[in-house]
Amino acid sequence: MEEEINLQKKYINKIKELNNKENKYYILTMGCQLNENDSEKISGMLEDMGYNKIDKMEEASLIVFNTCCIRENAEDKLFGKLGEAKKIKEKKNTIIAICGCMMQQKHIIEKIKKSYPYVDIIFGTHTLHKLPEDLYKVILNSIKINDVIDIDGKVYEGLPISRNDTVKASVTIMYGCDNFCSYCIVPYVRGRERSRRPEDIIEEVTKLAKDGYKEITLLGQNVNSYMNAERKKDKSIQYGFANLLRDINKIEGIERIRFISPHPKDFTDDVIDAIKDCDKVCKIIHLPLQSGSTNVLKNMNRKYTKESYLNLVNKIKNKIPYVTFSTDIIVGFPGETQEDFEETLDVVEKVKFEQVYMFIYSRRIGTSADKMLNQIPEEIKHKRFDKLKTLVESQIPENNKKYINTIQKVLIEGKSKNNEKMLTGRTETNKVVVLDADEKYINKIIDVKIIEDCMWYLKGGR
Ligand code: 5AD
Ligand code: SF4
C-alpha cells in the first residue's frame, strides 16, 4: 500500500512539473462530512500538484464534483452542474472530473457516458488515491478515464490533505458499512467496514493538535463498530471504539471530541463509560433514530425497537448527567402508517433532541426498500415531513430557554458571516452562539453568558 501511495506521489510530481502558475481548480462537494473529508484529501493532492483552489467554477482549469447518492436531490444537482461545466469546457478546455458515491452506481455511469460524454475522469470511492495517475494520463494523452472498481478499497495512509478549517477538523476512522439498512445505498457504494489502525488515527490527531486544531470529529458510517470486522478476523485484537475515545482524549491540545454516526444497536456500555470518563468528549450524542415505530424499524433492518431505543437513551442519561441527543429521522418509509408516524412524533416529544435532521424517504435503486410494494405517495410523505418539522420547531424555544443566563463554554470559530463585527462559535451541544468579543479569542474556548434566544442561534455577552 505504501508502494501505491509512493507511485501516486511520483505522478503528483510529474504533474507539478507540467503545471504552470496559472492552474486553478474548483471543487464542489455534495453530501456528508465523510465526503467533505475525501474532498480535503483531493485538495491535498491537487495543491501538491501546483493547483490553486478557487471559488469561481468558470475560471478553473480543472473542475471536480465529489458526489453523493444518499437521496435523489443530490443527483439532480450533479446533472445541473454538469450542464454549467460543459459551457466552461467549450471555452477553456477545462478538465472535468467526477468522483464519490454516485460513481459507484452502474446506471449513473451509463447515463454519464451517454448524455455527458465530455466528462474526462470518473473515479469512485475506492480509487480516490489514484487521482494523480488518472489526471496525468488525461493531461498527457487527452483520453477519457473511467477508474471505478467494485471491490472494497484498501485503507491508504499518507495522502496529503488540505483542510477547509483551522479550528475544527474531521478524521475518518473507518470506511464502509455492513448494516444494510433497507433504505440505504451506502453499503453498496462504500463497501464493507474496514477500520484505520488506532496508531494512524492517533498520529493524525496528534499532528492536528500541533497545528492548533481544537476540535476533532471522528467520522465513520458506524463509528461504534470501529474495529469490529478486524476483531472478528483476529481474536487477539481487543481494541474498540471506547479505547479509541480514551486514547484520543489523552492528546494534548485537543479540547473537544465529537463523533458521527454511532448506531444504537452497537452502543455498548464500554462506549457509554468512555464518553462519561473522557472530559473532552462532548456530552451530546448523535443517535440516529430513523423511525419511532418498531414495525417500521424492523422493515428498515435497524435491529432495535422503539422501547430499546428509549431504554438506551435513559440508560445514557442515567450514567451521564446533562447529556443531550441529536438524531436523524426518515419520514415516509414504505408501509409507514399514520400510527407508525405518530410513534416517531412520540419519541421526538419524549427525548427532546437538541437537533433533528429530518429526511423524506427517497427510493434508491438496488436497496431492498426500493422493491417494497407499499411505497408512500409523495403528498403524504410531505405532509408528514411538515408535521414533524412543526413539532421539532415548536421544541426549539423551550430548549433555547434553558441556555438563557447560563455560562456556556464556546469554541470561537471566527467572524460571523452575517456581521463582520461579531464573532461566532459553538457550545459543547453544537448550538451556534454569536457574540461581540475581541478577535484574539478566535480558536479559543471561552466562557460566554447567553443573553438572548434568536431561534436558530443564541446571542452571548462577555
Ligand atoms: N432516504 C432518505 N433519507 C435517507 N438517509 C439514508 N438513506 C436515505 C434514504 N434513502 C438518511 C438517514 C441517515 C442520514 C445520513 O441520511 O437518516 O442517517
Ligand atoms: Fe446506511 Fe444504515 Fe449503514 Fe447508516 S448504518 S450508512 S443508514 S446502512
| 438-453 pLDDT tens trace | 999 999 999 999 999 9
Residue 236 class from Cβ within 10 Å (0-12 exposed, 13-18 middle, 19+ buried)?
exposed
The pLDDT of residue 3:
86
SS (H, E, C) 144-192: CEEECCCCCCCCCCCCCCCCCCCCEEEEECEECCCCCCCCCCHHHHHCC
Question: Rounded to 10 degrees, what is the CA torsion of 172, 176, 178, 184?
Answer: 110
Element containing residue 65 per DSSP (H, E): strand 62-67
Q: Closest Cα to residue 292, out of 356, 204, 382?
A: 356
**Least confident among 49-53, 152-156, 359-363, 421-425:** 152-156
The sign of the torsion formed by the CA atoms of 147, 151, 152, 155 equals negative
- Mean pLDDT across 358-383: 97
Q: What is the pLDDT of residue 154?
A: 80
Quote the ligand 1 centre to 359 CA distance (angstroms). 7
Residue 173: band (very low, low, confident or very high) from pLDDT cuts 50, 70, 90? very high
Cβ(27)–Cβ(17) below 8 Å: no
Q: Predicted confidence band at 152 (pLDDT cuts at 50, 70, 90)?
A: confident
Q: Tell me the C-alpha distance between 243 and 308, whole Å.
A: 25
pLDDT band at 136, cuts 50/70/90? very high
Residue of 240, 183, 246, 256 lying closest to 412 (CA atoms) = 256
Number of the ligand 1 atom closest to the C-alpha atom of 290 = 17
Whose CA is closest to 8, among 38, 39, 46, 53? 46
Q: Give 224: exposed, middle or buried? Use CB within 10 Å, 0-12, 13-18, 19+.
A: buried
Give, using CA atoms, the residue closest to atom 13 of ligand 1.
Answer: 328
Q: Which residues line ligand 1 (CB under 6 A)?
A: 70-71, 183-184, 288, 290, 328, 330, 359, 361-362, 364
Residue 302 confidence (pLDDT): 98
Residue 462 pLDDT > 80, yes or no?
no
Q: What is the pLDDT of residue 40?
A: 96
Above 90 in pLDDT, residue 143?
no
Rounded distance, CA 6 to CA 426, Å? 39
From 63-72, 108-117, 140-149, 265-274, the region with the lowest mean pLDDT: 140-149
- Which helix or strand (DSSP H or E) is residue 133 part of? helix 131-141
Least confident of 114-128, 150-164, 422-436: 150-164
Q: What is the pLDDT of residues 308-355, one digit of tens each?
A: 999 999 999 999 999 999 999 999 999 999 999 999 999 999 999 999
Mean of pLDDT values over 22-38 = 93
Please report the pLDDT score of residue 135 as a whole number.
95
DSSP 231-256: HHH-TT----HHHHHHHHHTSTT--E
Q: Best mutation site among 69, 178, 183, 186 for ligand 2, i.e. most ligand atoms within 8 A of its Cβ?
A: 186
Average pLDDT over residues 87-102: 95
184 lines ligand 2 (CB under 6 A): yes
Whether residue 1 has pLDDT greater than 80: no
Sign, Cα dihedral of 37, 41, 43, 44: positive
**What is the pLDDT at residue 150?**
81
All 3 cell numbers of residue 110?
451509463
445: three-class secondary structure by DSSP? strand
Three-class SS of 304-365: CCHHHHHHHHHHHHHHCCCCEEEEEEEECCCCCCHHHHHHHHHHHHHHCCCEEEEEECCCCC
Contact between residue 167 and residue 214 where contact means Cβ atoms under 8 Å apart: yes
Taking the centre of ligand 2 as the mean of its atom positions, its distance from the CA of residue 288, in whole angstroms, is: 10
Q: Which three cell numbers stand for residue 358?
A: 429530518
Q: pLDDT category, 2, cuts 50, 70, 90?
A: confident
- Residue 260: pLDDT band by 50, 70, 90 thresholds? very high
Q: Give the nearest ligand 2 atom to 328 CA.
A: 7
- 181 has pLDDT over 90: yes
pLDDT at 217 over 90: yes
Distance separating alpha carbons of residues 186 and 342, to the nearest angstrom: 27
**Ligand 2 pocket, residue 71 CB under 6 Å:** no
Report the chain's mean pLDDT, rounded to a whole number: 95
Please identify which residue in the block is written with the cell numbers 467572524: 415
pLDDT of residue 89: 95
Q: Per-residue pLDDT averaged across 208-231, rounded?
A: 96
Domains, the chain, in order of start with CATH, read 2-147 (3.40.50.12160), 165-282 (3.30.750.210), 289-401 (3.30.750.200), 407-461 (2.40.50.140)
Could you give the angle at the alpha carbon of 125 between the alpha carbons of 120 and 130, nearest 5°? Answer: 60
Q: Could you tell me the pLDDT band of residue 142, with boundaries at 50, 70 and 90?
A: confident
- Does 174 sit in the ligand 2 pocket, CB within 6 Å? no
- Does the pLDDT value for residue 20 go beyond 80? no
